[in-house]
């Protein structure tokens, strides 16, 4: 697991609502060779190795006081599974720990097939009423 200490400016954002872009930048910086640019349908990639990453983020506590969860989309998950046939695609989970100071981001990579098994064991995908389709809200403790 990687750990990244947020700057004062980064920590000042509402990480329970607007963390996706920051999480993608941190993940690209922390995993050598990765970039936020260059591959359609995925958040980060390594142009030398072809490795792909789908970045998912949440805060330990949301503004409402609820525990954070990683929001996964079935369509994205299936694309990541197809890309992982060669073992070259991963989820990159970024957890913003807002419980203390300094605020830190913890990063962990997981294989899409492993996450798919966790989702299946926990009841499967849900209708979300969202244009992005079926979703699953993965609890923090399943990843970390």
What does the pLDDT look like over 91-111, one tens digit per residue? 999 999 988 888 999 999 999
Task: Give the chain's domains with CATH numbers.
Answer: 2-143 (3.40.210)
Per DSSP, the residues of 56-99 read EEEESB-TTSPBPEEEEEHHHHHHHHHHGGGS-EEEEEEEEE-S
Q: Please tell me the distance from the alpha carbon of residue 38 to that of residue 28, in angstroms, as a whole number.
A: 12
pTM: 0.89
Q: What is the pLDDT of residue 51?
A: 86
Beta bridge partners of 48: none
Cα 132–136–139 angle (5° rounding)? Answer: 140
- Read off the tokens for 8: 């004062």
Q: Please tell me the distance from the alpha carbon of residue 45 to that of residue 53, in angstroms, as a whole number.
A: 6
Please give the average per-residue pLDDT across 42-47, as a whole number.
Answer: 85
Q: Please tell me the distance from the alpha carbon of residue 78 to that of residue 58, in angstroms, as a whole number.
A: 21
Q: What is the pLDDT of residue 67?
A: 93
């Amino acid at each position: 697991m990687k750990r990244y200490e947020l700057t004062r400016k980064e920590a000042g954002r509402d990480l329970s609502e607007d963390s996706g872009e920051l999480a993608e930048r941190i993940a690209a910086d922390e995993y050598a060779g990765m970039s936020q640019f260059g591959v359609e349908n995925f958040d980060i990639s390594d142009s030398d190795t072809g490795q792909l990453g789908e970045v998912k983020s949440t805060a330990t506590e949301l503004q409402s006081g609820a525990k954070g969860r990683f929001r996964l989309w079935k369509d994205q998950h299936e694309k990541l599974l197809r890309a992982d046939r060669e073992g070259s695609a991963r989820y990159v989970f970024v957890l913003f720990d807002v419980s203390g100071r300094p605020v830190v981001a913890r990063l962990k990579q997981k294989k899409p097939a492993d996450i798919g098994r966790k989702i299946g064991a926990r009841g499967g995908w849900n209708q979300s009423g969202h244009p992005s389709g079926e979703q699953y809200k993965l609890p923090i403790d399943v990843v970390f």
